[in-house]
Structure 1
Amino acid sequence: MDGNGGIMVSAATGAMNSLLAKLAALLEEDYQMQKGMKREVVFLKDELSSMNALLQRLADAETLDPQTKEWRSQVREMTYDIEDCVDEYLRQLNHGRTQRQSQSAGIMGFIHGYVQKVKDMVAQHDIAEQIQQLKARIVQASNRRKRYKLDSSVNFNSNSKSLVPIDRRLPALYAELDSLVGIDGPSEDIIKLVDDGEKRMKVLSIVGSGGSGKTTLANQVYQKIGDKFDCKAFVSVSQNPDMGMVFRTILYQVKKDEVDRIRSGDKEQVINELRGFLKNQRYFIVIDDIWSTQEWKTIKCSLLENNCGSRILMTTRICTVAKSCSSPCHDLVYELRMLNEDDSKRLFFRRIFGSEDKCPHQLKDISIEIVRKCGGLPLAIISMASLLTTKSYARAEWFKVSDSIGSGLEKNSDVEEMNMILSLSYYDLPHHLRTCLLYLSMFPEDYIIERDCLVRRWVAEGFIKVNGGRTLEEEGECYFNELINRSMMQPVHIQYDGTVYSCRVHDMILDLIISKAMEENFVTIFTDRKQMIVSKDKVHRLSIVNHGQENVALYSRVTTHVRSLNIFRYCEQMPPLSNFPALRMLDLDGNENLESCYLEDVGKLFQLSYLRIKASNISLPEQICELQCLVTLDLLNCIGISKLPASIVKLRHLKWLLVNRVELPDGIGNMQALEFLSLMVVDYSTSISSLQELGTLTKLRTLGLDWRINDFHKEKVTYADIFSSSLGKLSSSNLQYLTLISPWSLDFLLDSWSSPPHLLQRLQITGWYLSKIPVWMASLADLTYLDIEVKVRQETLQILGNFPALQFLNLHSNAASNTERWLTVSNNGFRCLQKLKFVHWMNLMFEEGAMTMLETLEFQIIAHEARDGCGFDPPDLGISNLSALRKLVVDIYCECARVEEVEALEAAIRIAADSASDYFQLEAPLGRHTQGLLRLL
C-alpha cells in the first residue's frame, strides 16, 4: 500500500490528514476550550482516524462497488466541511488569545478583557452547534460502514513505488523521436508539397487523431525548411484560443519585435501591423491544433495572400476542418497514419532498452504483443513503454500489463479506448503522484507550466509529503521529474544539464485527467464553450479558463467551499474575493483587465497560503498583512508594481517573495521565514537599516538585487560597506542562488566579501563589467552556473577553468585592448562545462582536449569590433578539438558594418565550423534577422 502518510490533502483521502493534524493541535496546545468542546474534538479525532485507515486502503483497491464508492465520496466531502469549521474555530481562538495578550492594565484593560471573553464564548457556542451537526454526519457514516461491512467487502492490492531522479536521456530521446521514428517519410512528403516553388500562397493541413504525432511532424518540417523563408512562426491554437494572443505570438515571431510593445496592442492593431509586415514577405507559418473553421477564418484574415511563395501548415484532429482550411486541392490535406509495425517496435524498444537487440529474450514475445495492442499510436506506445520501465523483467508482470490493455484497439481507435490505455499509466502511479497529476487539469490546453511555479502550488495545496532531509520544494521537484519520466507530462524547455524547466500536458492525457478529476470531485472547470459542472453540491478547486457573461451566476453559487481558484481571464462581474472564505490558493493568471479594487478584500482570506497575480497596473492593499498563513507571494509578472505595502513585513510565515524590480521594504528583518527574495531594488530611497537587516535572513536560499547606487553619490561607500557586511552574514547560512544586476560599478565586491558563500550554486553578476574575477570566487566549489560580465584576459579563463563543478558559463567579455582578443582555452580546465555562451566574442583558440564535456557553444560578435580587432582572415579556432560539441550558434551584430565586411566575417566563421563538421551538425542554414542581427546555426 502506497499510503498517504505525511500528505495533508489528496484525491484519495480528501483533507483527512490535514484535519487530523489540526484536531491534534487543538488538543495539545494551550487553547482555552470549554470542557464539552474538548470531548467533542476527541471524539472527532478518534472516529476520523479510523475512517482514514479505511480510506487509504480503499485507494489501493482496483475496483469499488457503487456503495463503497459513495461512502468514500461522502467521507471525503465531510473532511473538507469539518476542516473549514475547525479552521474558523482556530482563527477565532488565536484572535482572542492575541487580543488578551495585548490588553492594557487598569479598568479599561479589565473591560476589554471581559468583552473579549464574551466574544470567545459566543464564538465557541456557534462552533459547538456546527460540530454537533458534523458529529451526526460522522456517526451516520460510521454506522453505514458497519452495516455494509465495507472493511471486508473490498479486495486490496499492494503496489508501492519509489521516486527516481530525472531521466537524463530526455533531450536525446525527444530529438531521436522527432527525426528517426517513422517521421522522415511523412516529413519529406510534406516538404515536397510545401517547397514546390509555386508563387501563390498555399495552405497544407495535417490531419490525424490525438497523439498521432501531428505536432511532432509539423515541427520537424518547420525546423528543416523554416529558414528558407523571409520569416517564420509556430503557434498553437487549441480548443479555447485567446485569438489576441495568437496574433501577438505570430507577430512577435515573424518580426522579433519588443514583447512589451506587442503585448500592449489591441487585437485589431496587431492584425493590421501583421498584415502590413507580411505584405512583401515570403513567410512560413505553422498553425498547430485548429479545432474549428471559424477560428481558421479569423486567423486567415491576418495572413496576406501576397504571391511571394508563402506557405501555411496547419494541424487538426478533424477532417472537415482540414478540408475547409486547405487550399482547394485534395492533395494538400495530408492524413497522418499510425506507425507501422517496425517503427512501433523501434520506438517502444528504444524507450525501454535503448534498442531492440538489448531486449531480454524472455520479454521479446510479450513486448511485441503489447506493441501490437497499442495500434501504432505514438502516445500509447510511449505511455506503455514508460509504464514498463518501472517494472522488473519478470514475465508475469509484463503479461499482467498486456492483459490489462484488452483488445480495444484491434477494432477501432476512438478516444474512449485511448483513455483506457492511458488509464493504465494513471493507475500505476503512486497515490501522491495521481493527486499531483489530477491537479494539472486546472490548466488550459497547451498551457506552458513552469516547474517551480507548479511545485509551489502543490506545496500550498498540501500534496507533498515530507521525505527525509529534503524540503517540500525539493520533494516536489522529485514528483515533477517522476511524472516527466513516466511521459505523463511533456518537457517543453530543457536546460543545459537536462533539467526540465517547464512542461505541458498532452491533449489526450489532459482529457483523461479532467474526466478523473471531475469523477472524484477534485477539480471543476468553467469555459465559455462548455460548462463542466460536477454533480456534487460543493466545489473545492475551481478553474475559470475562458468564461462568458452567462457563467457569472454559476460562479456565485459555488464559491463558499472553494479552496483553490484559478482565474485565467478576469471580468468585472466576477464574485468578490470575500465570497471565497475557504480559499487557500489564488492564482490570477493573464488578467489584463484586473483592477486593484478587486483585491481590496484579499485580507479577508485568512487561510490563503499562495497568491500569484499576473496583471498590469495594480497595487496591493495594506490589508495584505492579514494573510498570516501566506507562504508564497508571486508578483513576478505584475507590470507596474514598484513598491510593496509597508505592512508586507508583517507576513511572518512568507517564504517565497517573487517580484520584478520592487523597492526593498523597511523592516525586511521581520520576515525571518524568507527563503526566496528576488528581484529587489536597492537605491538611495532604501534605508540603511533594511540593508543591515538583509543579513539577518538566515533561511534565505535565493537572493536577487538590482543595485542602483551610483558611483558619484557621497554615501556610496556606506551603502557598499553595509551591503558587503550583510552578504558576509548570509554566506555562512543557506545562500545558494545569488543575482546582482547593476548599471553601476560592483568592483567593491572584488575583495570585500571576506567569507564567501560556500553553498553557492548559481551566480549572476551583470549590468556592469567587473575589472577582474573576484578573489573570493575561487572558493566556490559547488558553483554550477555562472553568468558574469568581466574584462576577459588569459588569466580570467584560467581562473574560470578551475571551477570544479561549473556546467554553464555565460561570459560577457570586455577586453582591455585588441591584443587580448586572442585567448587560448587549454586542456586542463572546464572539466564539467556543458554549455558556453560568449557575448562579445574574442577569438578563442581551443587546444586539443579542451572542454571535453562541452555540447553547446554560442557566441556573439559585433562585426565592426571584429573588423577593428582582427580583420577577416579565417582564423583556426580549434573548434574541431571540442570532441563533445553538438551545437554551434553564432550571432553577428551587423550595425555599423558594411555588407562585404559581414559576408567576409560569415565566411571566416563557416570555414572554422566546416573544419569540425565531423563532430557536429549545423542545424539550419543562414537566417537573417532584424535589428542588425545575422544568425548562423
Structure 2
Amino acid sequence: MFSLSFFPRNYNVRRRRLVRRWIAEGYSRDSDDKSAEENGEEFFSKLLNLSILQQAPQSDTTAFSDVRMVLCRVNGFLRECILSRGMEENHGIELTGTGSLPTQRSGRHLVISESWNRDRAVWESIDSSRLRSMTVFGNWKSFFISKSMKLLQVLDLEDAVGLTDDDVVLMVKLLTRLKFLSLRGCQGISHLPRLFGQLRQIQTLDVTNTSITTLPATVTKLEKLQYIRGGITTISAKDPSAPHTSVSWLSKFHRRRRPLAGIEVPSGIGKLTELHTLGVVNIGASEGEAVLKMLKNLTKLRKLGVCGINSKNCEAFCSAISSHGHLGSLSVRLDKESQGCVDDIYLPSENLQSLKLYGLIDRLPVLPVNKLGKLAKLHLEMATLRVEVIEFLGNLPKLCIVLESVLGSSRLDQFGSCFCLCKILSKI
C-alpha cells in the first residue's frame, strides 16, 4: 500500500505499471499455484474492492477473470494517511516544494515531485545508499544518479523531461541491480547502450514513446527479462493529456491510443524464454524473418504486439505463434496495401481475452466464433463496417468492450448496419 503514495493526488497511473513495480520490489512473488503477475493482479483487485484504488475518469474497464482497468487513481484521503505512516516508519523520502530540507533524509524509496526546485545542495544532503526505488516526476537532472545507489532495483522515469542518452549510459554503469526500468515517454532517448547487457537482474523494460527504434543485441543476455514494451503510439484526442482512453463507433468514447511504429529486436530474442509480454515488435524490419523464427521459442508469451505484417511474412508470423497456447492478448497491425493477406491470417484463439487488429479495410481474418469463448475486448481499425462484421461481433459470448478507430473516414456500408449495431450494443 505504501507504494501507492508515490503518485501525486489525482494522478492517473497505469495498472500494469503498479503490478510490474510490485513484482520488481518483491511485494508480489510466484506462489505454488500462481505467478507473481497473477498475484499482483489479485492485489490490485483487493485494493480496488477496498476503494483504496479507484477507476480513473474516462478509462476503460473490462471483465478479464476480474475487473481490470487500464488506469486508476489512489484515493486522495487514504493516500495522505499511507504517506504519513510511511514517513513515520522511515520508509521513504519525498522531495517537494522549494527551499527547505526534507523531513526524512534516509529511506528505501525516493519520490521527486514535479514541484521540487532541483536544489543540488538538498540532493547531496540525502543518504541514497539504502534506496530500493526512485520515482521522478517532471524535470530530470543528471546528478540524480550516484555511485551510492548500489541497491536500487526500481527506476521509474515515466514521462520525465530532459533525459539524454548519456544519462542512460550512466544508469547502466552504476545501477547494476535494476529489476525495473521505465523510460516510457522520455522522447529525448534515442538508443540503449551496448552495456545494457550487464543489467542481468532486470525483469521489466519499458521504452514506449521514446525515440528508441532498435534494441541492442546485448539485450539477449538478459535471461530474467519478462516484460518488454516499446514503439511509438499516437493519441487521436482533443486532450492529449489523457494517456489511455477509447474511441467507439458512436463517438461516446472519443480518444484512443494506437500503435504507430514498432521497435526492431535482435534475432536472438528467442533466448529470453521467460518473456511473457513483448511489443510492439516491427516484424517488417530487416531481421524480421529471423525474429519470426525465434518467436516460436517464446512459448510463455501472454501478451504480444506486432506491426509490419504483410503478404510476405503473414504466413510465417501465424506459424510462429500457432503453438502459443498461453497467449491472452494479441495486437496486430497490417502494413498499408496488405489487405490481401487477411485471408491467410489464422490466430491461436482459444485463450484470447483481448484482440486488436489495425489496418483492416472491410473484412476480418478467419476467426472461428466457437474458439473465441474468452474474448472480452476487441479493437478493430476498419475503413468500412459491413453487416457481416457486426453480426460476427454479436455472436461472441463474452464480449464486453468493442472499440473501433478509423482509417480516414469510416462508414457503415449499409443503413441496415445501424440496426444490427444497436442490437449488438444492447446485448453487450
Q: Under a length normalisation based on structure 1, what TM-score does the superposition of the two structures give?
A: 0.38
1:540 pairs, out of 108, 115, 118, with 108
Cα–Cα, structure 1 residues 645 and 822, in superposed 2: closer, same or farther, change >3 Å? same
Match of 1:527 among 96, 101, 104: 96
- Deviation (angstroms), 1:788: 2.2
Pairing 1:476–2:40 present: yes
The alpha carbon displacement at 1:767 in A equals 1.7
Which of 156, 177, 190 lines up with 1:607 in the alignment? 177
Aligned match for 2:226, one of 623, 642, 655: 655
* 1:759 and 2:334 are equivalent in the alignment: no
Partner residue in 1 for 2:418: 843
C-alpha displacement of 1:528: 3.0
Q: In 1, Cα distance between the equivalents of 2:38 and 2:26? A: 14
Provide the rounded CA distance (Å) in 2 between the counterparts of 1:662 and 1:550. Answer: 37
Distance 1:507 1:725, change over 3 A: closer
Q: C-alpha offsets along residues 552-602 of structure 1, whole Å, 9 cap, x if unaligned?
A: 453464122211111223444524343311111111133221111111133
Amino acid of the residue matched to residue 603 of structure 1? V
Partner of 2:293: 692
Which residue of the partner structure matches residue 188 of structure 2?
617
Give the Cα separation in 2 of the matches to 1:807 and 1:499. Answer: 12
Superposition pairs for residues 45-60 of structure 1, below 5 Å? Answer: none
Identity %: 27
| 1:706-855 → structure 2 map (5 Å cutoff) | 706-707=307-308, 709=310, 716-717=311-312, 719-730=313-324, 733-744=325-336, 745-753=338-346, 756-776=348-368, 778-789=370-381, 792-811=385-404, 820-823=413-416, 842-845=417-420, 852-854=426-428
Contact 1:750 1:776 in 2 (8 A): no
Whether the 8 Å contact between 1:455 and 1:473 is mirrored in structure 2 is yes
How big is the shift at 1:812? 6.1
Q: Distance in 1 between matches of 2:72 and 2:314?
A: 41
Paired AA for residue 315 in structure 2: D
CA distance change for structure 1 residues 769 and 494 in 2, over 3 Å: closer, same or farther?
Answer: closer
- AA partner of residue 103 (structure 2): I
Name the amino acid aligned to 1:750: D
Partners of 1:781 and 1:747 in 2: how far apart? 27
Counterpart residue number, 1:354? none
| C-alpha distance in 2 between matches for 1:526 and 1:747 | 56
Relative to structure 1, the CA distance from residue 441 to residue 767 in structure 2 (aligned partners, 3 Å threshold; closer, same or farther) is same
CA distance in 2, matches of 1:683, 1:819: 31
- Higher share in strand: 2
Rounded to whole Å, the distance in 1 between the matches of 2:205 and 2:177 is: 14
Deviation, structure 1 residue 549: 4.0
Q: Is the 8 A contact 1:739 1:763 kept in 2?
A: yes
Report the AA paired with residue 83 of structure 2: I
Give, in angstroms, the shift of residue 494 of structure 1.
Answer: 4.8
Instruction: Report how far residue 612 of structure 1 moved.
Output: 0.5
How far residue 457 of structure 1 moved from its aligned partner, in angstroms, is: 0.6
The amino acid of 1:598's aligned partner reads D
Residue 518 of structure 1 corresponds to which residue in structure 2?
A: 87
Instruction: Give the aligned partner of residue 247 of structure 2.
Output: none
Aligned to 1:558: 127
Matched residue, 1:45: none
Deviation digits for residues 111-152 of structure 1, max 9, x if unmatched? xxxxxxxxxxxxxxxxxxxxxxxxxxxxxxxxxxxxxxxxxx
Alignment check: 8 A CA contact 1:525 1:531 kept: no
- Name the aligned partner's letter for residue 821 of structure 1: Q
Change (3 A) 1:555 1:809: same
Residue 486 (structure 1) aligned with residue 50 (structure 2)? yes
In 1, are the aligned partners of 2:62 and 2:376 still within 8 Å (CA)? no
Match of residue 22 from structure 2 = 458
Is 1:458–1:476's contact at 8 Å kept on the other side of the alignment? yes
> 1:472 is aligned with what amino acid?
A
Question: SS state of the match for residue 263, structure 2?
Answer: strand
Give yes or no for the alignment of 1:503 onto 2:67.
no
Q: Report the AA paired with residue 725 of structure 1.
A: S
The 1-side partners of 2:308 and 2:401 are apart by 24
In structure 1, give the amino acid aligned to 2:111: S
Whether contact under 8 Å (2:353, 2:374) holds in the other structure is yes
Structure 1 residues 606, 819: closer, same or farther in 2, change over 3 A? Answer: closer
Instruction: Provide the rounded CA distance (Å) in 2 between the counterparts of 1:591 and 1:812.
Output: 29
For 1:8, the equivalent position in structure 2 comes to none
CA distance in 2, matches of 1:463, 1:543: 18
Classify the secondary structure of the residue corresponding to 1:700. Answer: coil
CA distance in 2, matches of 1:510, 1:819: 47
SS at match of 1:532: coil
1:799 and 1:598 map into 2 onto residues whose CA distance is 50
Instruction: Give the C-alpha shift of residue 780 in structure 1.
Output: 1.8
Code of the aligned partner of 2:112:
I
Normalised to the residue count of structure 2, the TM-score between the two structures is 0.81
Match of 2:156 in 1: 587
Residue 356 of structure 2 aligns to a residue whose secondary structure is strand
SS of 2:223's equivalent in the other structure is coil
Q: Is the 8 A contact 1:677 1:700 kept in 2?
A: yes
- What's the CA shift for 1:737? 0.5
State the distance in 1 between where 2:424 and 2:379 align. Answer: 20
- Counterpart check, 1:596 vs 2:165: yes
Instruction: Judge conservation of contact 1:751–1:775 (CA < 8 Å) in 2.
Output: no
- Matched residue type, 1:757: S
CA distance 1:734–1:549, shift in 2 (3 Å): closer
Distance 1:465 1:632, change over 3 A: closer
Unaligned runs of 5+ in 2: 232-261
Give the structure with higher Rg (CA). Answer: 1
Structure 1 residue 676: deviation in Å?
Answer: 0.3
- What RMSD in Å do the two structures reach over aligned CA positions? 2.7
Contact preservation (8 Å) 2:342, 2:364: no
Q: 1:494 to 1:763 in 2, by over 3 A?
A: closer
Contact 2:52–2:74 (Cα < 8 Å) also in 1? yes
Note the C-alpha offset of 1:740. Answer: 0.6
Please give the alpha-carbon distance, in whole angstroms, between the structure 1 residues aligned to 2:45 and 2:415.
Answer: 42
Question: CA offset at residue 798 of structure 1?
Answer: 3.4
Using the TM superposition, give the Cα deviation of residue 487 of structure 1 relative to its aligned residue in structure 2, in angstroms.
2.3
CA separation of 1:772 and 1:663: change in aligned 2, threshold 3 A: same
CA displacement 1:228-261 (0-9 Å, x = unmatched) = xxxxxxxxxxxxxxxxxxxxxxxxxxxxxxxxxx
Give the distance between the partners of 2:319 and 2:135, measured in 1 at CA. 42
> Would the alpha carbon gap of residues 740 and 566 (structure 1) be closer, same or farther in structure 2, given more than 3 Å must change?
same
Instruction: Say which structure is richer in helix.
Output: 1
Q: For residue 223 of structure 2, what is the amino acid of its counterpart?
A: R
1:465 deviates by 4.5
Change (3 A) 1:752 1:615: closer
CA distance in 1, matches of 2:208, 2:354: 20
Following the alignment from structure 1 to structure 2, what is the Cα–Cα distance between the partners of residues 694 and 598?
A: 32
The 1:616–1:765 alpha-carbon spacing in structure 2 relative to 1, beyond 3 Å, is same
CA offsets, 1:326-368, max 9 Å, x none?
xxxxxxxxxxxxxxxxxxxxxxxxxxxxxxxxxxxxxxxxxxx
Segment of structure 1 superposing worse, 780-789 or 502-511? 502-511
Following superposition, the deviation at residue 724 of structure 1 comes to: 2.2
